Each structure stands twice: as C-alpha cells, then as structure tokens.
Amino acid sequence: MIKINLSHEGEFVFWAIFLGIIWSQIISHFAVSIGLHRYFSHRQIEASPATEWVMIFMILIACVRTPIGWIASHRMHHEFTDTKDDPHSPKHVGFWKVLFTTWELSYIPPKYARDLYQNPRLAWAHKYWKHFLLSTWLITFLIDYRVFIGFSLIPFLLARLGFGLLNTVGHIDYGGSNKPWLNFIIAGEGYHKNHHINSKQIRLHKYDIGGIIAEKFFRPAKRKS
C-alpha cells in the first residue's frame, strides 16, 4: 500500500509557493515591467527579437492576455489619465472593477496599436495567447499540481494583483501616485507619479529596481530628433 506522508506533501506545496514567488519576481521585473511596460509600451530601451520572445513568453505566463491590447490600452491611459476616456480610471470605471481587472474596452483606436501589429512576435502573441496559456497550464498540471502552482498559478495571481493595485492605489491622486510599498510586487513601478510626469524616463527613483536593471542591461532607445 502506498503511504503518503502529509507533512512532506505540505512541505512540497510550501516550496512550490516559495519558488513561485521568486519566479513571479523574475517575470515582474524582466518581462512585465521592463518588457511589456518600459520597452513595448514606451520604447525606452532597445531589445533583440530573441529577447522579445523571452519577454513575450513570460508576459503570457503572467496572463496579460493579449499584450497588444494591454499596450494599446496603456497608451490610452497615458493620454487620458484619470479622465472619462481613461480605460481603467477607478473614478470613472469603478474601484473594484479596476482592482480585479474586470474592466472591458470595446474599442481601441488603431493609432495606439498600429506599430504593434507590425511586430510579428506581438502579432503571434495576440493570436495565440489563449492557446499558449492553456497549454502551459495543462502541461505543468500534468507534470505535477505543485509545478502548476509554482510555475503557472502564482505568477498569474500576483500579476493580476499587481495590475489591480497599480491602477487603483497607484492612482489615488489625480495623475498618479508614488506608493513605494507596491514595488514588492511590481518591480519599481510603484513610483507611478514619476512615470506619468515623464514616461520616457527609464529609472523612476534610486530604489526603482526594474529601472536599475533596465539601465544596466539594456541600451537606451535612440531618440528621433
């Protein structure tokens, strides 16, 4: 008869959660903050196609759904910050909807996404994000449910929480707020007021870890004169 030692079972779940949190931090810094936000949305730095692929796979694990949708709505957010045309203004859309990221955007003007569709990697992610996400969930679950928890579920939950908190707590003040405690899950993006003041600035604060990594390991984008 197979005996399952429950204390060991619990220990493995603990390690799955622990490693999942570390994995989430890597995704949050490298893929979501540096990749999705600073690189794809604001073109602050340069990246090779191979780096883009790695960023995109990690972004999809965090379940941003289609990165093109995220980037385009984020650009709208910058243009219409905290007004009725801001896609996720807590004041206009509702605090809870924004916190749980259940807001919908029925139409995005093409000007916010035109360049994005021209990138074949982003176009691929736009088409196959659901296939990729479901396959990753299925494969990790078939390997072991604790692999699913650590590799797929924890990054998914923490990314959702991070986006929700950034768009609510990070916008308590009109035009964006600096909330350094948010950096524990959103990789330096807690200096959100500074980001709204200058969306081309890579490093937002001396403790902006995502910004420090981006400055150290990536070339700044060439500015069009």
Near Zn ion by CB under 5 A, which window of 115-123, 148-156, 170-178, 214-222?
Answer: 170-178
Rounded to the nearest whole angstrom, what is the least distance from the CB of residue 192 to Zn ion in the complex? 5
| 146 versus 203: smaller Cβ distance to Zn ion | 203
Q: Among positive and negative, which fits the CA dihedral 50, 53, 57, 62?
A: positive
Q: How far is CA 219 from CA 38, 43, 62, 205, in A?
A: 12, 11, 25, 19
DSSP, res 205 = S
> x-or-dash pattern for Zn ion, window 130-169, by CB under 5 A?
----------------------------------------
* Contact assessment for residue 218 and residue 47, using Cβ atoms and an 8 Å cutoff: yes
Least spacing, CB of residue 212 vs Zn ion, in Å? 18
Please give the C-alpha separations between residue 89 and each of 79, 85, 123, 204, 209, in angstroms, as whole numbers.
Answer: 12, 8, 27, 22, 26
Q: Which is nearer to Zn ion, 20 or 176 (CB)?
A: 176
The size of the interface with Zn ion (CB under 5 A), counted in residues, is 1
Residues 174-193 that bind Zn ion (CB under 5 A): 176
What residue ranges bind Zn ion (CB under 5 A)? 176
